[in-house]
Structure 1
């Protein structure tokens, strides 16, 4: 798919980290980018910097997401590229030790359901609402292509660590969406893929650099090559290639410097 000047894109979680880098890369390629985020200040600042638009969107609320797409389409036109980076989740072991009682406690079903909503259900929500808009748009090329949707999974989908029963299983679910959704949408010319980033230098991870330099050095050394955390711009580079290359469809990409996560 040729990324034309003025083509519209939507990036969730575009105010920071991987989403922020993706939004900038798409804007640099000439696209009009709508950032969906709940961080108004950072989102508005970044949207202004890249010549895009910002929309306060809670990915866990159906109406908020629909309103966001409606506003983005009114401002920029029908999105042809959607990149979903936003998520919400909790952490905990299936069964853990409770210091207060001296016994064991179970990770609550409610906590698990929160993560499933914030990762898996939200991914379906974003992808399906975007796909409906794309389905009603004119094809962009002789292949009949109408758009590209990229979801963000994680290496935890395959290498889930201790305490990641919610995150790992729900990110695996994101990967599980890809092929059946790509096949659902094949006659409409809409591609669906996912990226599984490894350890990336996002704001959350960069905070460790000053707080715990030893742990920071250990994390960098744990990556086979290159021996460093991934740069958000490297994630964004893959996002651009997925959007551009019409033969990439129904695929899940590890982007991890060859790391394989240990149990903890």
Structure 2
């Protein structure tokens, strides 16, 4: 699908992977709506790229629906590209030393990372299905979700996070198969260790230890490298129903 002139919606677009994706898509000529829980963060990125800022929580279906309506009203049509980068990283053992239950954390993590992704996919599919095809294949849109290498390599303390991202990965193929008749592709990216606000706070020795475990290149990924893969997925019509790891060939150790 041609990015130039297309309308794109990027969630978690106020920082990190989402912000890099919004900038790259805008640089390729897309009209980008930047959605984030933080109105200030969304506005800052949108102002930088000439995009539309949207403040919404991905777990709130009504708010997400209102965001899609606003995109159509202000940009002229529903988005043909959805990139879901919104999510939370959590760490907690199933049985911590104090013996406390961790059910609430598990539920919250799944609610944001998995159910939030599905809410976006649901609204996007409904909106994209009303659009006219853009090519001879009948393409109407592309939905790109974000999992994590933790869905396969979950470490101790990542039960909630790995399960939520595993759900996103497992959603990919059945969603792609169902939406194929509408000309809507569904893909998932599973990032490894990337430069984010979370990793920026690591002590130098911790960062060095993490990077030593990355085969090649032995460094954390840059957000624009994630965004580059988003661009390639959008532009390559045969990429559908698959999870792509982007991780320097790392396989996470148990802890």
Counterpart for residue 82 of structure 1:
82
TM-score, length-scaled by structure 1: 0.94
TM-score, length-scaled by structure 2: 0.97
Counterpart for residue 227 of structure 2:
236
Query: Which stretches of structure 1, 4 residues or longer, exceed 3 Å deviation after superposition?
Result: none
Q: What SS is found at the alignment partner of 2:96? A: strand
Counterpart for residue 200 of structure 1:
194
Counterpart for residue 255 of structure 1:
246
8 Å Cα contact 1:18-1:235 kept in structure 2: yes
**Alpha-carbon offset, residue 89 of structure 1:** 5.5
Alpha-carbon displacement from aligned partner over 1:124-170 (angstroms, at most 9, x marks no partner) = 11011001100010001000000000000000000000111000011
Q: What SS is found at the alignment partner of 2:42? A: helix
Counterpart for residue 71 of structure 2:
72
Partners of 1:168 and 1:90 lie apart in 2 by 10
**Alpha-carbon offset, residue 106 of structure 1:** 2.9
**Alpha-carbon offset, residue 96 of structure 1:** 1.4
Partners of 2:208 and 2:88 lie apart in 1 by 27
State whether structure 2 residue 123 is matched by structure 1 residue 129. Answer: yes
Partners of 1:202 and 1:105 lie apart in 2 by 30
8 Å Cα contact 1:14-1:85 kept in structure 2: yes
Q: How many residues align?
A: 254
**Alpha-carbon offset, residue 42 of structure 1:** 2.0
8 Å Cα contact 1:89-1:118 kept in structure 2: no
Alpha-carbon displacement from aligned partner over 1:218-240 (angstroms, at most 9, x marks no partner) = 11221110010000010000000
**Alpha-carbon offset, residue 72 of structure 1:** 1.4
8 Å Cα contact 1:192-1:249 kept in structure 2: yes
Counterpart for residue 101 of structure 1:
none
Alpha-carbon displacement from aligned partner over 1:25-83 (angstroms, at most 9, x marks no partner) = 00000000001101222211110111101000111111111111111121112101100
8 Å Cα contact 1:89-1:114 kept in structure 2: no
Counterpart for residue 175 of structure 1:
169
State whether structure 2 residue 212 is matched by structure 1 residue 217. Answer: no
**Alpha-carbon offset, residue 88 of structure 1:** 3.4
Partners of 2:61 and 2:90 lie apart in 1 by 20
Cα RMSD for the two superposed structures: 1.0
Q: What SS is found at the alignment partner of 1:36? A: strand
Partners of 1:141 and 1:206 lie apart in 2 by 42
Q: What SS is found at the alignment partner of 2:201? A: helix
Partners of 2:245 and 2:128 lie apart in 1 by 27
8 Å Cα contact 1:35-1:43 kept in structure 2: yes
Gaps of 5+ in 1: 99-103
Partners of 2:160 and 2:112 lie apart in 1 by 10
State whether structure 2 residue 45 is matched by structure 1 residue 46. Answer: yes
